[in-house]
Structure 1
């Protein structure tokens, strides 16, 4: 399949999916989300592929966030549908894929970008990576699983600190709190990620599929539905309108 916003490469049993929107720091828009969904469906069906690496093009950004211009004028219903569809066709799909997906976080992983990395089964990061969930600066909350996956990875305290402060943390701090597994130089990131993918690809694919499913069952709850509804409701609020306007106008928001 031909893609406009992503590149899919296969080498032996390992596939690499590269988000390729360098002009926008690989920000996620609806087309990119759909292309990623299609690519992961194809790779899951490909019996030759045993492990998948997900990364961003260039040296600055994994995914800098969602494409805010695309949803800046949404209301509650449209925002809920945005979050629900994105979760269904991409974020939940990655988390529940029968083949392991390793995020190679090469630079900024913010908002939807960090949520995308958290949906992956394992995260490696480069030393220049910056990670964060800045949604509250827009009068919103993470809408692609951030409020659910982050506490499971780092605990409730660190999750609240990151979400409520909207601050970015460096890769080494992310490793300290369990948000990423390992940190490497930018030059070594992809090769080290491929080493792990190669190691995994030598193991039983059926055993790996069952292990992924079993691990995921340890974290089931109904919080995703609450997140989706809250995300949608905030789109009708003045804080969201001010936050998004300030972002687009490149100024600091003034919340009332």
Structure 2
């Protein structure tokens, strides 16, 4: 049987000062640990490239940006150490975005679930299409959006985050996400979104790198403790993923998929 946790890819292209980091997984762009590590490392590596002025974070495909954690990997976790290590993958990606010296533009072409909402929230400026509805589904499988929570709350506020986290089976529209501050602009099509990304990328690539770095530092003020905070949250998720409730919920979901 094919090991789906080993599938997927992260690709990097750099052109005219703009680095595009693209990820893909055949299961709706879900993220197993291997892809999370590659994504975090790529963001960190690109941040050290002097020739790069800004980063565009995107995924492949049409209607799904990211389905969040890989259920195939979640169901394989059998101990606390492995559980925490997996959820640290999301923590490391968020912290890589936070620590990057480059502004990060998010391109969200479709639905985002759980960790996918966390990725969008970790971007400094996020474009989306009208198909980019969002959902924090973790509570429905007995976990909770603990690791991505600080990033999501930073963008949409505690009230909207609580709404999403508690009503874990509810999809929230792209327009709702724009009103709450997760998305900056919502477009009718990916083509129109890409035109806007190209325009902003051009403008930023001709801006002062030093000024953009200083601006990013101001925008992320108050998150200096996230290395420790997200590690603590990863430990909570790593413990809960071992519960009978979560194991049964994931198996039920996979049976229906």
1:15 correspondence with 2:19 = yes
Q: Distance in 1 between matches of 2:33 and 2:236?
A: 20
Query: Aligned residue for 1:149?
Result: 151
- The offset of 1:85, in angstroms, is 4.2
1:162 correspondence with 2:168 = no
Q: Distance in 1 between matches of 2:183 and 2:144?
A: 21
- The offset of 1:16, in angstroms, is 1.4
- The offset of 1:11, in angstroms, is 2.1
Name the SS of the counterpart of 1:47 in structure 2. coil
1:15-56 CA-partner distances (Å, limit 9, x unpaired): 2122122x2221111222222223223322222210111111
**What is the correspondence of 1:1-256 to structure 2 with a 5 Å cutoff?**
5-21=9-25, 23-74=26-77, 75-88=79-92, 90-143=93-146, 145-166=147-168, 167-185=170-188, 186-221=190-225, 223-250=229-256
Q: Distance in 1 between matches of 2:47 and 2:84?
A: 28
Name the SS of the counterpart of 2:42 in structure 1. helix
Does the aligned pair in 2 maintain the 1:152–1:219 contact within 8 Å?
Answer: no
TM-score normalised by the chain length of structure 2: 0.88
1:185-214 CA-partner distances (Å, limit 9, x unpaired): 222112211222222222211221122123
Q: Distance in 2 between matches of 1:66 and 1:235?
A: 12
Unaligned runs of 5+ in 2: 1-6
User: After the TM superposition, which segments of 4 or more aligned residues of structure 1 sit over 4 Å from their partners?
Assistant: 220-223
Q: Distance in 2 between matches of 1:152 and 1:240?
A: 27
- The offset of 1:95, in angstroms, is 1.7
Does the aligned pair in 2 maintain the 1:96–1:212 contact within 8 Å?
Answer: no
Query: Does the C-alpha gap of structure 1 residues 105 and 147 become closer, same or farther in structure 2, counting only changes over 3 Å?
Result: same
Tell me how large the CA RMSD over aligned residues is: 2.0
Unaligned runs of 5+ in 1: 252-256
Q: Distance in 1 between matches of 2:14 and 2:250?
A: 39
Query: Does the C-alpha gap of structure 1 residues 123 and 71 become closer, same or farther in structure 2, counting only changes over 3 Å?
Result: same
1:107-165 CA-partner distances (Å, limit 9, x unpaired): 0111111111111111111111111111111111125x322122221121111110111
1:84-104 CA-partner distances (Å, limit 9, x unpaired): 24413x220112100011111
- The offset of 1:215, in angstroms, is 2.4
TM-score normalised by the chain length of structure 1: 0.88
- The offset of 1:181, in angstroms, is 0.9
